[in-house]
Amino acid sequence: MSGAGRVPHRAGRRVPAGGAPRTAVCAAPPVEVRVSPLHGLGVFALAPIERGTRIFEYLGERISHEEADRRYDHKAPHDNHTFLFIAAEDTVIDAGVGGNEARFVNHACEPNCESVIERARVYIEALRDIAAGEELTYDYQIRRERDDPPDIDALFACRCGSARCRGSMLWPRRRAP
């Protein structure tokens, strides 16, 4: 990746296509978007959400990695008001264009949701039972890049407040073999 910007790309757990059919996406997820104590806007449960619920799909324009770089590479490195999600090797979802409320779900290190990628589509699913009023969160798993500056973790600092907060929205470094 070139340019001054360091565009954060969110990632998720890939599940193999095929096999048993997965649960359908909520027709009308019981959530609202409002100001969050974590960061900016957040998504909050209006009613209890059962573990395993596929709450919503992460929607947006489907573009190439090159197009994502072209759109956002000029942004300041610590401006993480981008909504890019890696859906497949050759596809990025830009929820800044045509996105739904899923783009406002904040990052946390001990989240109550996870991002699941199935057939190059991204879904936010409940990892556990969620009570009404709770803020939804998932781990952004922001990909590390070869040319990241040494202070990259500070640029994407996490202040989720969890006891096991790793202090960064970036995915942990691979352990030395």
Residue 82 or 168 with smaller CB distance to Zn ion: 168
Q: How far is the CB of 18 from Zn ion (least distance, A)?
A: 34
Q: How far is the CB of 160 from Zn ion (least distance, A)?
A: 3
Size of the site for Zn ion (CB under 5 A): 4
**Amino acid code (one letter) for 37:** P
Choose which of 84, 109, 136, 170 interacts with Zn ion (CB under 5 A). 109
Residue 165 contacts Zn ion per CB under 5 A: yes
What is the H or E stretch that residue 92 is in?
strand 91-94
Residue 93 contacts Zn ion per CB under 5 A: no
Residue 160 contacts Zn ion per CB under 5 A: yes
Residue 142 contacts Zn ion per CB under 5 A: no
Residue 59 contacts Zn ion per CB under 5 A: no
Query: How far apart, in Å, are the Cα atoms of 74 and each of 5, 33, 65, 78, 80?
Result: 5, 28, 15, 12, 12
- Dist CA 126 CA 132 (whole Å): 13
Q: How far is the CB of 69 from Zn ion (least distance, A)?
A: 27
The residues facing 113 across adjacent strands are 126
Query: How far apart, in Å, are the Cα atoms of 56 and each of 71, 122, 151?
Result: 25, 9, 34
Q: Which residues bind Zn ion (CB under 5 A)?
A: 109, 158, 160, 165
